[in-house]
Amino acid sequence: MFRGGLLRIYGRGRAEKVAAFSQPTTECFHAWRKRVKYLWYHLQILQPLWPAQLKAVERDCDRLADRLGEEHDLAVLLDTPSVRELLESRSEGADLLFSAVFRERERQRRAAIPLAQRIYVENARQFVDRIEGYWLAYRPHSQFLPN
C-alpha cells in the first residue's frame, strides 16, 4: 500500500520545514520545497479518496511550493553573474536591487508560514493514519465507480 512512502514524504517535509526556519538558507528552503512537491504529487493521486478534504491540502501544498519556488528564484537571481557583478559595484542601484530582493524573499518566507502550519499540523503517523482511514472508507464503494 502507500503507507510507507507517504509516511516518509510527510515526515521529511515536516523535518525540512523545521530545518528551513531554524537555518534559513537557500539550500534549506529549496530542500523543503522539493518535499512539499513530493507530497503534492501524492495528494493528487490520493485526492479521489475524499475530494473536498484532500483538495484543500493539495491546494495548500501547491501554494506553498509556489511561495518557496519564488523565494528560490530570487536567490538564484542574486547568484547570476551579471547581478553578482552589479552587486559588487556597490552602486545605489545595486543596493536598491539587493534590498528589494531581500524584502521579497522575506515576504515569501512569511507567506509560507500559515500554509506550512496547515499542511504539517499533524505528525507523520497521524497524517498517514487519517489518509489510510479515507482509503478504507473509499475501498468498499470503489466497485461502484465507472472503469
Q: Give the pLDDT confidence of 61-98 residue by residue, as tens digits.
A: 999 999 999 999 999 999 999 988 888 888 998 999 99
Q: Hey, how many other C-beta atoms are within 10 angstroms of the C-beta on 13?
A: 27
Q: What percent of the chain has pLDDT over 70?
A: 93
Contact by Cβ (8 Å): 71, 109: yes
- Per-residue pLDDT, 145: 52
- Per-residue pLDDT, 1: 63
- Distance (Å, whole) CA 43 – CA 56: 10
CA proximity to 58, closest of 29, 72, 37: 37
Contact by Cβ (8 Å): 114, 63: no
Cell for 136?
478504507
- Per-residue pLDDT, 135: 85
- Per-residue pLDDT, 48: 87
- Distance (Å, whole) CA 68 – CA 30: 7
Residues in the chain predicted with pLDDT less than 50, given as ranges, are none
Cell for 39?
507530497
Contact by Cβ (8 Å): 116, 17: yes
Is the pTM higher than 0.75? The answer reads yes
